[in-house]
Structure 1
Amino acid sequence: MISNRKSLVWKFFEQHSDSALMVLCVICKKKYSQKGRGTSSLWNHLKAFHKAEYDDLSTEQAKQAKEKEAEKTPLQKAKSEVKQKSIAECFPSVKIWDVNSFRSKNLDKIIAEMLVMDDLPFSHVEDLGFMRLMTEICPQYKLKQRNFYTSKICDEMYDSAFAKIKSIVNKNQLNCNFAFTTDVWSDTSAGVSLLSLTAHVVTEKLERVNFVLSAEPLHERHTGEYISMKFDEMLEKWDIPSSTVHCVLRDSGANMKKALFLSGLNNIDCTVHKIHLVVKQGLSSKEEIGNLIRKCRSIATHFHHSTMAQDELKKIQGRLQEPMLTIIHDSPTRWNSTLYMLERTQKLKEPLCLYAASNSN
């Protein structure tokens, strides 16, 4: 019999004389292949065909295991009793906060304030990067859809901010008159024009406080009558009587003048806007200067619309070892931006000439 095997089952099996890969049952002389196999098939043979021997061998094996367990040291016993944790036990499921809990509501508020303060779109809360960040730093928080923050910001936060600003307005009405600046400007992203009204207050402590009271959309033609009606609505909304309005600073547009006259409010022209009109008229009176400005605007437009052109201009500046400057495009409402555009074009004269030479189009 094979004596160098540890399992007790080898008491009833021996190596076959014809092959090293064959074993022979010493009871029934049946042959079994042992190539790549363990002792399970041998135990199954005893259990199926030699029940008495199988029972005796099982009893002896259990006795040996018990004796071996008794011989173990306390440390070995402790190690054997340690149960290996499953993946589920190592990574227990996270308990999600209740949406009405203080921690969940506080995080709702912080996320909503982030959207407002950083002027982010509501869809930001559904972006993959934001969701991964929140899942990593706070897996207990249940992420909300954009509609949740839309209603929270537009309702709760607006009402809260409105109440605070209105308390400031009411408090300062007792001590001073208000001065306002107003303008009509276009929100190109929303495709709508807005009438803004910004209050300027000097408190008892001689502190100057500025805050935008309203930015009302204009859905009709910007006539003096329509803008006057909007002014009256905004002042009524904030409970500001016209008698407490010291003056309103506006541009020199005929519709703005008429609107404030119809509303019975003291108003004056904006000095900065007046200067802008004077400079603009002076520049347009000289044909040579007008042509020069139009050429510079054309150059600025070309580079602002082409990243390839910007990259090529940077390479030219690098070869000339000049500072990396970009083309400035002026704004039609700020005369000083036209000056900055001309100055920058002059500084980039040589790189621009080299660019033009290699790009005849």
Structure 2
Amino acid sequence: MTSPPASSIWIHFQIAQDENYANCNLCLAKISRGKGSHTTSAMWKHLKAKHLSKFQELKGTRSPSPVLPPASPSTSSPLSVSADLASEDDDDPAPDEVASVESPASMCSPAPSPGPAESSFTQSPFKLPPVKRKIVPPPSNQWTMAAFLDKTQSFKPGDKRAKTVTRLVADMICKDNQPLSIVEDRGFRKLLNHLEPRYVIPSRKHLAEKVIPQMYEEVKTKVEDLLGKNNFIGLTTDMWTSTSCDDYLSLTVHFLDENFQYHHLCLECIPFPEVSHTASAIETFITTTLKDWNLSQKVVCVMRDNGPNVVAALQRSPFHHLPCLAHTFQLVLKDGLLNKTEIKDIMSSCRSIVGHYKHSSKAMKTLRSAQAKLNTKPRRLIQDEPTRWNSQLHMLARLMEQKQAVLLSASDLNFQVDLTARQWTVIEEVIRILDVFDKATFVASSSQVTISEIIPLVNSTIRALQTFKSSVGSVQGFRNDLLASMRRRYHSVESEKFYALATLLDPRFKGNVFFNRENLDAAKSTLAIEITDLSMQVEDADLCTSTQGLVRDTSQTSTEQQGGHSMWSYYSQLMVPSSNSSEQSCRLSPEEEINAYLAEPLLQPSSDIFKYWKENKKYQNLRKLSKKFLITPPSTVISERLFSTSGNIVDRKRSTLDPERVRMLVFLNKNLP
């Protein structure tokens, strides 16, 4: 191999195995030297473009520093300073940073030998103070060798960066209901390898047996800590059977934290071991689970469906329980359709029409063509489901919306739409009735709604049915049967303690939505009793605190008695004084506090009732009771949504998942932030 020419550029380069190339020692780049006649021009350009600081260092030392020529007594040469010298304000330079100052003449020709007349100047040449050269820092995007090597090596076991990526992968699997086998999919592995080549993707077994159980324990601890800070919780429960025929029981807790934030947390989605869903087995399962979580004494109310075994199970338990509004509406509508043959026949005909279009691609294309001709929205028809009454409403409403398109396409298909003008009228009026129930169910299904909405929803539905009039006998009879069923199933809605107190504590409704004045007065009396019981509990707690330690002087002030601490009078001086209204309300009797609260104007329907109680500290007793009676939702929809998640997890691709693993995945899906 030919030795490199004597040039300072070779400090940072070395000839490659192919002599036509040179390797950069700084970034390992391969630079061409040219073929035949080798040059260093490309290497200088690379150094200047990629390693500017090294380029500047070499440019300052490429040729030996010239010697300053002696000064002529008759003439003097102007002095020039190199452009890369720093200003005089910089600090004193290091010895190796000192630069020479040279005249233009000396830069072009060697210095002449000094003559006799110049000897004095040669022995004592003119010297300028040293000027240091400005040091240019390397570019921020320039890698060091250590950083470059680090980027080419895989993360070591236990590396924090690898643990972070693994945790994010597991988090994605849990929150997005992805199968554990996604870590084996080629596309996913290719994506991660592109984003972080150093990351070694863990196996499915590692995620299932180590990472996810660890995440479950961490999140469970956080849920336990959060529940431990609250004295009252509401509960919803439901049962579900997976595609692999495994039974699960769900328990979802609802509560307000210290900041009046409304929470819904999945407590358990537990594999149900019993073969038969008996009331005894369900009751034992619920009570045991709540005992394991130390929540048995905190349950205020349980919202459940109307299944006979669930009802019987909770009747055996010590917990107060109420029926789900949505399930009860399902039973009400079933009662209304029980003896209405005409409406049943219309439903059957509509079901057949929709089924024809759903199962024929030709009919579907013809319907789209008719929709385009009529300039109507190109929507599909909806097939109803027997277990969901609102699906019947959606089927009828969509069919009525697409009536003209259906009739036009049916004539092109020679398909007989077996509905008379009277039957279309019946459909239109049945939609009006069902829409009342649909709107009420929609409100009750919101995640921010509580049982304070039950009395307003029930009474407004009854009022809407009372005012509904129809000229069609079967529709009027349908309305009468619905009204009778509502009154029978909700005959005691205003006298139910939890419904009544929750409605009173809702600043949007208070007592204005009660039909019966006696029920309102009874609810106010019950609320006053709750305030008295709450005050007695606080006094008992204060008494236990004050009797601990030394005996106190009975002449102490009221503020000292409340605090139970000799320093209380000093602490009270640091506190912001309460407003007059607040101080006055503290001295009100329970009845006076309730009447003062009820006398205030109602909030707007869209107002946040939890924000109201967070900010309103005037009625302290009612504020505390709001955390007890405003936490239970009006339906079990939240628990049913839990099983929608479970269905996504235990799908056909993952039907063999272990029930315990399903439990963890559902828990993490609902409780991960």
Unaligned runs of 5+ in 1: 1-68, 83-91
What is the CA distance between 1:201 and its match in structure 2? 0.8
* Residues 251 and 273 in structure 1, CA contact (< 8 A), matched pair in contact too: yes
Deviations 1:271-312 (A, max 9, x none): 332122101221232112222223333444555566676455
Residue of structure 1 in register with 2:406 after alignment: 352
Q: Which amino acid in structure 1 is aligned with residue 238 of structure 2?
A: D
Kindly indicate whether residue 280 of structure 2 is the aligned counterpart of residue 225 of structure 1. yes
Residue of structure 1 in register with 2:209 after alignment: 151
Q: Which amino acid in structure 2 is aligned with residue 317 of structure 1?
A: Q
Please give the alpha-carbon distance, in whole angstroms, between the structure 2 residues aligned to 1:293 and 1:218: 37
C-alpha spacing 1:149/1:308, structure 2 compared with 1 (3 Å)? farther
C-alpha spacing 1:318/1:287, structure 2 compared with 1 (3 Å)? same
Kindly indicate whether residue 285 of structure 2 is the aligned counterpart of residue 323 of structure 1. no
Residue of structure 2 in register with 1:19 after alignment: none
TM-score by length of 2: 0.38
What is the CA distance between 1:325 and its match in structure 2? 0.7
What is the CA distance between 1:341 and its match in structure 2? 1.4
What is the CA distance between 1:356 and its match in structure 2? 4.3
Residue of structure 2 in register with 1:280 after alignment: 334
C-alpha spacing 1:302/1:155, structure 2 compared with 1 (3 Å)? farther
What is the CA distance between 1:104 and its match in structure 2? 0.9
TM-score by length of 1: 0.67
Residue 197 of structure 2, aligned match among 132, 136, 139: 139
* Residues 99 and 142 in structure 1, CA contact (< 8 A), matched pair in contact too: no
Kindly indicate whether residue 253 of structure 2 is the aligned counterpart of residue 253 of structure 1. no
Residue 123 of structure 1, aligned match among 181, 184, 187: 181
Please give the alpha-carbon distance, in whole angstroms, between the structure 2 residues aligned to 1:267 and 1:285: 31
Kindly indicate whether residue 156 of structure 2 is the aligned counterpart of residue 98 of structure 1. yes
Residue of structure 1 in register with 2:481 after alignment: none
Deviations 1:10-32 (A, max 9, x none): xxxxxxxxxxxxxxxxxxxxxxx
Kindly indicate whether residue 261 of structure 2 is the aligned counterpart of residue 207 of structure 1. yes
Please give the alpha-carbon distance, in whole angstroms, between the structure 2 residues aligned to 1:309 and 1:350: 15
What is the CA distance between 1:108 and its match in structure 2? 0.3
C-alpha spacing 1:107/1:340, structure 2 compared with 1 (3 Å)? same
Residue of structure 1 in register with 2:347 after alignment: 293
Residue of structure 1 in register with 2:391 after alignment: 337
Considering Cα pairs closer than 8 Å and 6+ residues apart, tell me whether 1 or 2 has the greater RCO.
Answer: 2
Residue of structure 2 in register with 1:107 after alignment: 165
Please give the alpha-carbon distance, in whole angstroms, between the structure 1 residues aligned to 2:281 and 2:309: 9
What is the CA distance between 1:129 and its match in structure 2? 2.0
Residue of structure 2 in register with 1:197 after alignment: 251
C-alpha spacing 1:292/1:194, structure 2 compared with 1 (3 Å)? farther
Deviations 1:157-179 (A, max 9, x none): 1111111111111121xxx3221
The total of aligned residue pairs comes to 276
C-alpha spacing 1:108/1:344, structure 2 compared with 1 (3 Å)? same
Please give the alpha-carbon distance, in whole angstroms, between the structure 1 residues aligned to 2:293 and 2:357: 46
C-alpha spacing 1:267/1:122, structure 2 compared with 1 (3 Å)? same
What is the CA distance between 1:217 and its match in structure 2? 2.4
C-alpha spacing 1:356/1:282, structure 2 compared with 1 (3 Å)? same
Between the aligned residues of both structures, percent identity stands at 32
* Residues 177 and 246 in structure 1, CA contact (< 8 A), matched pair in contact too: yes
C-alpha spacing 1:313/1:104, structure 2 compared with 1 (3 Å)? farther
Residue of structure 2 in register with 1:78 after alignment: 40
Kindly indicate whether residue 368 of structure 2 is the aligned counterpart of residue 314 of structure 1. yes
* Residues 354 and 383 in structure 2, CA contact (< 8 A), matched pair in contact too: yes
What is the CA distance between 1:344 and its match in structure 2? 0.3
* Residues 235 and 301 in structure 2, CA contact (< 8 A), matched pair in contact too: yes
C-alpha spacing 1:81/1:239, structure 2 compared with 1 (3 Å)? closer
Please give the alpha-carbon distance, in whole angstroms, between the structure 1 residues aligned to 2:292 and 2:354: 44
* Residues 245 and 265 in structure 1, CA contact (< 8 A), matched pair in contact too: yes
Deviations 1:212-244 (A, max 9, x none): 211122342211011112102221221212x32
C-alpha spacing 1:305/1:117, structure 2 compared with 1 (3 Å)? farther
Please give the alpha-carbon distance, in whole angstroms, between the structure 2 residues aligned to 1:120 and 1:306: 33
Please give the alpha-carbon distance, in whole angstroms, between the structure 1 residues aligned to 2:337 and 2:163: 57
What is the CA distance between 1:331 and its match in structure 2? 4.0
C-alpha spacing 1:247/1:81, structure 2 compared with 1 (3 Å)? closer
Please give the alpha-carbon distance, in whole angstroms, between the structure 1 residues aligned to 2:298 and 2:233: 6
Structure with more of its chain in strand, by fraction = 1
Please give the alpha-carbon distance, in whole angstroms, between the structure 1 residues aligned to 2:363 and 2:152: 52
Kindly indicate whether residue 316 of structure 2 is the aligned counterpart of residue 262 of structure 1. yes
What is the CA distance between 1:184 and its match in structure 2? 1.7
What is the CA distance between 1:353 and its match in structure 2? 3.7
* Residues 251 and 270 in structure 1, CA contact (< 8 A), matched pair in contact too: yes
Q: Counterpart of 2:173 in 1: which secondary structure?
A: helix
Please give the alpha-carbon distance, in whole angstroms, between the structure 1 residues aligned to 2:356 and 2:291: 48
Please give the alpha-carbon distance, in whole angstroms, between the structure 2 residues aligned to 1:348 and 1:182: 39
Deviations 1:168-202 (A, max 9, x none): 11121xxx3221111123334x4333221111112
The range that moved more, 122-131 or 97-106, is: 122-131
* Residues 299 and 319 in structure 2, CA contact (< 8 A), matched pair in contact too: yes
Kindly indicate whether residue 292 of structure 2 is the aligned counterpart of residue 237 of structure 1. yes
Please give the alpha-carbon distance, in whole angstroms, between the structure 2 residues aligned to 1:325 and 1:80: 66
Please give the alpha-carbon distance, in whole angstroms, between the structure 2 residues aligned to 1:148 and 1:312: 53
Q: Counterpart of 1:272 in 2: which secondary structure?
A: helix
Unaligned runs of 5+ in 2: 1-35, 45-148, 417-673
Q: Which amino acid in structure 2 is aligned with residue 126 of structure 1?
A: E
Q: Counterpart of 2:271 in 1: which secondary structure?
A: strand
Residue of structure 2 in register with 1:64 after alignment: none
What is the CA distance between 1:142 and its match in structure 2? 1.2
Q: Counterpart of 1:157 in 2: which secondary structure?
A: helix
Deviations 1:248-272 (A, max 9, x none): 1112222111111222211122233
What's the C-alpha RMSD, in Å, of the aligned pairs?
A: 3.0
* Residues 112 and 152 in structure 1, CA contact (< 8 A), matched pair in contact too: no
Please give the alpha-carbon distance, in whole angstroms, between the structure 1 residues aligned to 2:318 and 2:159: 51
